[in-house]
Amino acid sequence: MASPSGFRIHAPALPYFDAVRRAGSIREAARRLNIASSAVNRQVLKLEEELGAKLFDRLPSGLRLTAAGEVLAGHVATVLRDAERARGELDGLRGLRTGHVELATLEGLCHRIVPEALAALAERHPRVTVSTAIQGSAAIPDAVLAGDAHLGLAFEVRRRPGLRQLASVTLELGAVMPPGHPLAGRATIRLGDCAGSPLILPRGNFANRGQIDELLLGTGGVRHEAGSVELMKAMVLRGLGIAFMTRVGLETELEAGRLVHIPLRQGREAVRSTLGLYARTGTALPAAAGAFAGQLGEAMARLHGPPPP
């Protein structure tokens, strides 16, 4: 890449620079790219030499962008996004054959929704690959806006400039407990009904935590916190308390009869949470990401169906 002034950038090095920026180390970037660390390091050094500027500070904890690196990173992200969009449009012209998609999502969505969508995508487009990053709810829209993910799938994402919603589904929050719990036979439940049991709450980085805290205002009792869906389920299965979740992520345990999910009520109203699929505004999705978004949307729509008996 050159300009009339003679300023040159070694274009093949840009994806390597971006990979190191994302990973925070040469070794991790090389692992993700499936190439030798020395090859990644050579590309970064070549880029620094051609620009006449140091792009990374080498620290004991890893690599950190310098001021020059920060300037370059913004431009590189734009260049790579434009190149990917052009590839996507070309794929669309000749029929989707290959492509790669980056998805940022929550742990609990990887039990059924994401695998179902992946299977459907693989059946239709077997040469399209997907990388899935498990993140907290607050980090998922940030990853989409930063261009680190084509798609973000999360609960209770607030509207933000630059973010568009591709699909959504509204689900009921419920009290989750073992079938032998004294409250397990109820058709619906209020938080006050759970006052005599210990509660298992998601840590503050979970999307539904704020919603649950509002419902719990003025109530007391024992409250545990868990940092993952798997830990919450394990604690409930061991009889350590009641958790409050949607049915998503609990499918296997509910179908096996190991847990029950009782819809929450606040007064006469159901307590609901919205799951959304998000992408950046102002840019067309690459063909592969668009195809995967379609499969995720279909998997989300199936959540409207009746719960397992």
Question: Alpha-carbon distance 240 to 141, whole Å?
Answer: 33
Q: Are residues 140 and 288 in the same domain?
A: yes
- Asked if residue 309 belongs to a domain, the reply is no
Kindly state whether residues 157 and 294 are assigned to the same domain. Answer: yes
From 95, 116, 140, the end of a domain falls on 95
Tell me how far apart the alpha carbons of residues 54 and 75 are, in angstroms, rounded to a whole number: 16
Among the candidates 69, 95, 121, a domain finishes at 95
Provide the pLDDT for residue 146.
Answer: 86
Q: What residue ranges of the chain have pLDDT lower than 50? A: 1-7, 306-309
Q: What is the pLDDT of residue 1?
A: 47
pLDDT at 74: 81
**Residues 80 and 11 placed together within one structural domain of the fold:** yes
87 and 4 in one domain? Answer: yes
- Amino acid symbol at 11: A
106 domain-assigned: yes
Q: What is the CATH number of the domain that holds 213?
A: 3.40.190.10
Tell me how far CA of residue 74 lies from CA of 17, 67, 71, 92, in angstroms.
Answer: 12, 11, 6, 27
| Residue 11 belongs to domain spanning | 1-95
- Structural domain total, the chain: 3
The CATH number that applies at residue 21 is 1.10.10.10
222 occurs within a structural domain: yes
Q: Are residues 286 and 152 in the same domain?
A: yes
pTM of the model: 0.71
Assess if residue 281 is contained within a domain: yes
> Does residue 1 sit in the same domain as residue 91?
yes
